[in-house]
Structure 1
Amino acid sequence: MKTPTKIIRTDKWQLNPTPDQKVFFGETVKIYRRACRFLVGIIYTHWAQLGSLTADRVAWPTANQLTPAVERLMHETAKRPNIKYPQFNKAFYKFPSYYRRAAIAFAAGQVSSFVTRYNEWQSGTRKRRDTKPPRLNADAGCYPALYKGQCYKLYGFDSAKPTLREQVEIKVFNGSDWVWTNVQITGLRERHQVASNKMLSPSLIFNERVCHLSVPFSCKPEKRKPEANVTAVDLGINTTATIAVVTHSGTVIHREFIHPGRDIDRRDKRLKSVSMRASLTMGKGGKLHKGFCSKTYQKCRRINNQIGHVVSKRIVEIAKKFNSEAIVFENLKGWKAKGGHKRSNLRQRFHGWLKAKIRDFTEMKWAELGGKVVEVVAAYTSKLGFDGSGKVKRDSKNYALATFSSGKRFNADLNGAYNIGARGVFKLVRRNGNEGRPSKRSGRSPRSWACLCDLWALRSS
């Protein structure tokens, strides 16, 4: 029996601290990072003994043996007066026990990651022959993890809707002592309102730009009773996503085009400015320095993320509205851009095609609702007419249009979405189990090249 995948999603809870609280947060993050750096050295020194305690991460008692083992080296108690590293208690006076255990867990993760990567480097597993060995980074810019009751307490979460009563009390360092302080929560998501979601230990994220709690949730979606339909998605460059909801009988009950043109124009305008600045910098020859226009590229990546989230959110909303059995995508893994005549921007447009990002974001959102994503063979989804008339001819002036053999003109992306939906239905009902295998009847296309008309034929038979 296949073990269900654990679904972890993180919400951002915005905080509104006072100027004094900002100082406290800064001191808390600073001393927590110092403790992590201190512990990285201790754990790495004794990794030969400690590393075996983290080998089994399935059973919690076994994995938890590491924390007391590290504490026996550096935490002095009445029953344990003689320890190897008494400097820790002197340097971090009254350091809360749960902050200490969170720091131990983080430091152990840093050391474990380094040792694994270093062993791989020593064994010759390298991208290049002259790759330098990895380094142990003790200053990783971490943030303190908060344990409920010991490091934070929540107030005002009795009502279902967010109100001004929501506050969090956090144990912080004021420069000389550890004290409790109440902070107003000004921004929430909705995952804490889902009864089946389990809230895990949040992290206090604070720097010069942001101040919020990063709150992870273990999501356990309810068992679904879907309708006999699928939501098919055709990802393109003329239209970002074309949606068709196809029933098992071959009826299209919904279709929609999603194309956030404003965001795409914002991104393309910035990318065009890069080529202009590059030509001014290099002239007729030369070389661009490392990090050229890095801020612009960073902004474009954020715009791409925004586009991916907007499109994937709408896809999931449609699938949820029609209670679809699955969301169907083309399998475009390994696909590379081809074509484009001289001075054409077609290849550049393909580089801005967010096929993987939209698919991954959709799968993450849909899995949280208990749905599944299906991939079908991409060959001939748009080249074959959904009515079984054979190959279609794309319009040379408007590539978004396709002309069927009967002379009918139809949207090429919508035609592809119909065929994708049909292949998804066949895959779900196991009528196309051997995908990609040729049909036993000679002269026919492979079974994976199913079209919408094949569902009609199945219904009438």
Structure 2
Amino acid sequence: MKIFTSYRKKIKHYSHIFKDTLMFYRLAVDFFISVCLKEWGQVSLCSSAKDKMTCVERLTHATKKRPVVQYDFSQADPGFYKFPSYLRRAAINEAVGKVSSYLSNLKNWEEDPSGKKPGLPKAGFVFPCMYKGNMYQESSAYEARIKVFIHNTWDWIDITFRKSDVDYILHHCQEREECVPVLMRKGKEWFLTFSFEEQATLTSIPFKEQKILAVDLGINSACVCSAMCADGTVLGKHFFFLPGENDCLSHAIGRIKKAQQHGARKIPRLWARAKGINDAIAVKTAQFIIDIAVLYNVDVIVFEHLGLKGRKRGSKKQRLHLWKARHTQSVVTDKAHRLGMRISRINAWDTSRLAFDGTGRVLRGTESAKTNGSYSVCEFQSGKVYHCDLNAAYNIGARYFIREILKSLPETARLDMEAKVPSCAKRSTCTLSTLISIHAALAA
């Protein structure tokens, strides 16, 4: 599979000089969008993206052999004289994509008119691609030349990059294929964003021989990992806590709450601090998961499929709003694919509520006298007190293997297995004891 990553190089010493370039590019995209909307019947007949771009170019770009065109781009209202050819083609491709998406959404809305009708496409916040040779030339490792609109014409200017950005890319992306950079703005600063492509081969071991890492992401503990085999054998369990970061995040949330109680509505610095701490927690958690996966040489990392939409309630609703579980899973996915590991997600329903030993529903918080009101531990029906997140990690790994086993069985064998082990018929009731029972039935 192909993996794409992007890194930014900050352009030093310039702040406002690229505004005209960005403005003209977005006006060009708007111009080609209007042409595509009028001539979509002709453009849509083309099969490939290259043919569509050529079709729009024939309608808008005058040449020596084609002096008269229906929509002359160079004579359009803003004035696109000497507009670079590669930038023009990038604008055409952007416009074709936006119009195609709009017409597809419009067709779906006409078939089922629920919600608001799709609005006409616009350029929006698109940024220009600086094609190598025509728009971008490297002078040295830390310097380059780009063609921009300056002094009422398109001309080359010299730019300088930060040494830290260049050295970081050289260290991490030397073996990857570099794609076309994009001129982007963030706040008052300008960057060239480089995309890198690399090939990765994911493991294709049969599930019976796989080792997995079942991960339960939490709020009290950052994550709990359990390495497992297909027969339910637990190879290892690891806990990851970030007490310092959690304390800093609680302090940052308290400052935000206090400022809001005093009537402050816009507090960007306080929110930026809380966001930075939260990002650090997600990145450190993802790195810990990858380290444990490498330690046990696992083939698959298994997460819960978390539904985080809806209103949050309770004393920790602010922490739930800030919880970056999906961002953590995304970071782990990128790192794992680069190492050849696969990612899988299972049904998250009742993974913490059901005991892994099959004794039924656990008691948590105020439901049990043994837990002292804590939701970090739970009491089984047998009276045993166990860690909640570790119990969930066992059930997560078991549900992955149960799903793979049942998928591999023929229909009659699957029905026979559900008759022998009734709890495997419903995925949301499967636990580690269910997986052990299935293996016992298969062995018999």
Shorter chain as denominator, the TM-score bin is: 0.7 to 0.9
Note if 1:451 corresponds to 2:436. no
Give the one of 203, 206, 230 matched to 2:212.
230
Q: Please name the residue that 2:184 is paired with.
A: 205
- Normalising by the residue count of structure 2, what TM-score does the alignment of the two structures yield? 0.77
Q: Any conservation in 2 of the 1:168–1:185 contact (CA below 8 Å)? A: no
Structure 1's unaligned 5+ residue stretches are 1-5, 57-61, 157-164, 283-291
Note if 1:78 corresponds to 2:64. yes
Q: Distance in 1 between the 2:39 and 2:233 partners?
A: 65
Q: Aligned-pair distance for 1:271? A: 4.8
Query: How has the CA–CA distance of structure 1 residues 48 and 305 changed in structure 2, closer, same or farther, with 3 Å as cutoff?
Result: farther
Q: What is the CA deviation profile of residues 244-272 of structure 1, one whole-angstrom value per residue up to 9, with x for unaligned ones?
A: 22234545444333344555555555555
Query: How has the CA–CA distance of structure 1 residues 306 and 70 changed in structure 2, closer, same or farther, with 3 Å as cutoff?
Result: farther
- State how 1:117-132 maps to structure 2 within 5 Å: 117-127=105-115, 131=116
Query: How has the CA–CA distance of structure 1 residues 45 and 232 changed in structure 2, closer, same or farther, with 3 Å as cutoff?
Result: same
Note if 1:441 corresponds to 2:426. no
Query: How has the CA–CA distance of structure 1 residues 420 and 24 changed in structure 2, closer, same or farther, with 3 Å as cutoff?
Result: same
Note if 1:193 corresponds to 2:167. no
Note if 1:410 corresponds to 2:386. yes
Indicate the SS of the match to 1:142: coil
One-letter amino acid of the counterpart of residue 313, structure 1? Q
Which of the pair is proportionally richer in helix?
Answer: 2
Give the one of 219, 233, 239 matched to 2:221.
239
Q: Please name the residue that 1:44 is paired with.
A: 37
Q: Please name the residue that 1:146 is paired with.
A: 130
Q: Aligned-pair distance for 1:324? A: 0.9
Indicate the SS of the match to 1:255: strand
Q: Distance in 2 between the 1:68 and 1:230 partners?
A: 49
Taking only aligned residues, the RMSD between alpha carbons, in angstroms, comes to 4.1
Q: Any conservation in 2 of the 1:23–1:174 contact (CA below 8 Å)? A: no
Q: Please name the residue that 1:63 is paired with.
A: 49
Q: Please name the residue that 2:150 is paired with.
A: 174
Structure 2's unaligned 5+ residue stretches are 365-370
Q: Any conservation in 2 of the 1:26–1:206 contact (CA below 8 Å)? A: no
Q: Please name the residue that 1:136 is paired with.
A: 121
Q: What is the CA deviation profile of residues 92-113 of structure 1, one whole-angstrom value per residue up to 9, with x for unaligned ones?
A: 2322211111111112223333
Q: Aligned-pair distance for 1:37? A: 3.0
Q: Distance in 1 between the 2:186 and 2:325 partners?
A: 34
One-letter amino acid of the counterpart of residue 388, structure 2? A
Q: Any conservation in 2 of the 1:26–1:207 contact (CA below 8 Å)? A: no
Q: Aligned-pair distance for 1:429? A: 5.5
Query: How has the CA–CA distance of structure 1 residues 299 and 437 changed in structure 2, closer, same or farther, with 3 Å as cutoff?
Result: farther
Q: Please name the residue that 2:290 is paired with.
A: 316
Q: Aligned-pair distance for 1:146? A: 2.1
**Further displaced range: 433-442 or 74-83:** 433-442
Query: How has the CA–CA distance of structure 1 residues 278 and 193 changed in structure 2, closer, same or farther, with 3 Å as cutoff?
Result: same
Q: Any conservation in 1 of the 2:423–2:434 contact (CA below 8 Å)? A: no
One-letter amino acid of the counterpart of residue 173, structure 2? H
Q: Any conservation in 2 of the 1:191–1:217 contact (CA below 8 Å)? A: no
Indicate the SS of the match to 1:239: coil
Q: Distance in 2 between the 1:12 and 1:356 partners?
A: 21
Q: Distance in 2 between the 1:436 and 1:384 partners?
A: 24
One-letter amino acid of the counterpart of residue 128, structure 2? P
One-letter amino acid of the counterpart of residue 418, structure 1? Y
Alignment length (residue pairs): 420
Q: Any conservation in 2 of the 1:12–1:212 contact (CA below 8 Å)? A: no
- Normalising by the residue count of structure 1, what TM-score does the alignment of the two structures yield? 0.74
Q: Identity across aligned pairs (percent)?
A: 27
